[in-house]
Amino acid sequence: MQPQSQIADPAALLRWYVESGIDEAIEDQPIDRYRLAAEARERAMTGKSSPARPAAAATRPPPAAALGAGLDDGMATARRLAEGADSLEALRAALAGFEGCALKQTAMNMVFADGNPAAPVMFIGEAPGRDEDRQGLPFVGRSGKLLDRMLSAIGHDRHAEDATKAAYIANILPWRPPGDRTPTAGEVAACLPFIERHIALARPKLIVLLGGTAAKTLLGRSEGIMRLRGRWHEIPVAGLDSPVPALPTFHPAYLLRSPHEKRAAWRDLLELKSKLGKSI
C-alpha cells in the first residue's frame, strides 16, 4: 500500500483512505469538550444563557447535556418502534426507518440477520465489519468463515434445511462503526431495544453471545468475556414466558488473533452441543 505522499490521483487517495480504515474526518481546530460540558452544567445551575460565540462555533457538536437528551429521545423512539413490530419483517422495516443512531449515516448497508429464524440457537455478535457492511449480511468475512467452521464441527449450518440443525445470526448493532472501532455506549443503548425485540420474535431456545460487547450488553454485566465465557446465564426478554439460556464465548475475530484460545472455544461449543441435544 502506497504512502499518502506518493498518491497524486485524488480518487486513488480516497481509495487508500478507505482501505486503511480511515472513514471519519475531524475538524481543523481542537474542541475542549470538558469545557463545554462544564459550561452546560454551570448554565443548568445558574439559569444563565450561553455567551455569544463566533459563527464558526455553530458547526461544533452540542454540549454533553444536549447529547444526553438526544440519546434519551433516540432510545425512547427505538423502544417504541421495536415494541410495535409484530414480525421479523416488521422489525427489519422499523430498524431501516430508525434515525436515532449516527452509525446509519456512515454505513453502506444495514445488517439485519442471516440463517434460519426457526433455528433453536441464535448467535449474537457485536457489529458488522467491512465485508458484512458491503454485503448486508452478518459474519461473512474471515470471522464469519471461522464461525461457519465452528458450527459445522457440532453438526450445524446457518442455512440447513432442517431447522434443528440450522443457526440464526445477528448483531447488537446493525450498522458498522467507522474503521471497525468499538461501539460507544450511546450507540449500543440506541440499538438495544431492537436486538431485544429480535430475540423475542425469533424465540430461540438458546443464545450464544459472541464477544465481550454482546455478553456485557445483553447480560447487563461489567465483567469481561474471560470471566463470563463458558458458563450458562439467563437473559430475561419482554414478550417471552421465561428467560433464554445464554452462553458467552469468544468472538471469532478474537480467535483469529488469538488462536491459543480455540481450545477454550471448542469446550464452549461442546457445551452448546450438549445443551442443544437436551433442548431439541
Structural domain includes residue 81:
yes
- Give the contacts of 37 (CB within 8 A, at least 6 positions apart): 63, 64, 65
**What CATH number is given to the structural domain containing 259?**
3.40.470.10
* Grid cell at residue 178: 467507522
Contact between residue 274 and residue 159 where contact means Cβ atoms under 8 Å apart:
no
Question: What pLDDT, on a 0 to 100 scale, did the predictor assign at position 18?
Answer: 64
Question: What pLDDT, on a 0 to 100 scale, did the predictor assign at position 167?
Answer: 98
Structural domain includes residue 99:
yes
The tally of domains found in the chain comes to 1
Which of 37, 27, 70, 46 is closest to 190 using CA atoms?
70
Strand partners, 233: 246
Question: What pLDDT, on a 0 to 100 scale, did the predictor assign at position 65?
Answer: 44
> For cell 454482546, what's the residue?
214
DSSP code string of 176-207? PPGGGPPPPHHHHHHHHHHHHHHHHHH--SEE
Structural domain includes residue 141:
yes
Q: Sign of dihedral through CA atoms 175, 180, 186, 188? A: positive
Structural domain includes residue 41:
no
Question: What pLDDT, on a 0 to 100 scale, did the predictor assign at position 8?
Answer: 62
Question: What pLDDT, on a 0 to 100 scale, did the predictor assign at position 75?
Answer: 85
Question: What pLDDT, on a 0 to 100 scale, did the predictor assign at position 185?
Answer: 93
Strands in the chain per DSSP E = 114-115, 121-125, 168-171, 206-210, 233-235, 244-249
Question: What pLDDT, on a 0 to 100 scale, did the predictor assign at position 183?
Answer: 94
pTM: 0.75
**What distance, in Å, lies between the first and last C-alpha atoms of the chain?**
50
Structural domain includes residue 162:
yes
Question: What pLDDT, on a 0 to 100 scale, did the predictor assign at position 124?
Answer: 98
Regions of the chain with pLDDT less than 50:
1, 3-5, 49-50, 52-67
Q: Which domain holds residue 262?
A: 66-279
Structural domain includes residue 34:
no
Amino acid at 53: R
Structural domain includes residue 6:
no
Structural domain includes residue 52:
no
